[in-house]
Amino acid sequence: MLDKFITPIIKPLLTPVVMLMHKRGITADQLTVIGFLVGLLAVPLLAFEMWYGALVAIALNRILDGLDGALARYANQSSSAGGFLDITLDFLFYAAIPLGFILANPEQNAIAGSLLLATFIGTGSSFLAFAIAAEKFKLEKPQFKYKSFYYLNGLTEGTETIALFIAFCIWPQHFAIMASIFAIACGITIFTRIHGGYHTLKQQEAAENMPSMCKFRGNK
């Protein structure tokens, strides 16, 4: 929900760092992989209840995630392969953080963490499945033109998820309640994406079929 407002603010701040990295010969795909590995460090840190160390790893992951796309665009290296790598590792990272809290306190966090992971699957699959169909119909990306594929909006997007992870690390004792509330918000996102995506694609299919139907009637 907040991504479309936050991204235009952050992008200009990354430009000086991106220019320096490009001069040093660093590639966007390298940043993607490095960011993912840094983010995974949060899992053992969370498991051993090193909350602020995990918070640093999460923050670094998100910074590098912002830099990789900006670097790809600056260097004219944007590609479907890079977009695929980026989104795949992003979702693995998102799933890893609740797992870290479950490992830290299985008795208290397992149910809420599992519920959150289940809804993460729903939000991720609904948005990626729509992206495949959107590519088929060549739908425009008015709010995220810089992305490799179509982003279907929702109540819970990247900005909200990272804010949640930060809150988890600051108030780990409240993980269960925060995870449960966010899972409900994810459920709303899943419903709106499925509902909106389904009807959008039905309209596209109807529009594509209209010329052939008119031609058929004309011949008749």
Kindly give the residue spans of alpha helices, DSSP state H, lying in the chain. Answer: 3-23, 28-40, 42-47, 51-74, 80-104, 106-137, 158-170, 175-219
On the question of pLDDT at 163 being above 70, the answer is yes
The per-residue pLDDT for range 116-142, each reduced to its tens digit, is 999 999 998 988 888 887 777 777 654
Give the pLDDT score at 73: 87
Comparison of pLDDT for 181 and 79, the residue scoring more:
181
How confident is the model over 4-29, as pLDDT tens digits?
A: 556 656 666 777 888 999 899 999 99
Residue 147: its pLDDT value, please? 44
Distance CA 196, CA 71 (A): 32
Phi-psi region of 147 (alpha: psi -120 to 50; beta: other; left: phi over 0): beta
Q: What is the pTM of this model?
A: 0.82
User: Which residues are designated catalytic?
Assistant: 90
d(C-alpha 73, C-alpha 86), whole Å: 14
Q: Identify the weakest region by mean pLDDT among 48-57, 63-72, 119-128, 207-216.
A: 207-216
Which whole number is the average pLDDT over 163-191? 96
Res. 194: pLDDT tops 80: yes
pLDDT, average across residues 147-159: 61
Q: What is the pLDDT of residues 92-104, one digit of tens each?
A: 999 999 999 999 9
Question: Residue type at 161?
Answer: T
Q: Is the pLDDT of residue 144 over 70?
A: no
Q: How far is CA 172 from the centre of its chain?
A: 23
Q: Vertex 203, ends 197 and 205: CA angle to 5°?
A: 100
Q: DSSP 3-state assignment of 86?
A: helix
DSSP 78: -
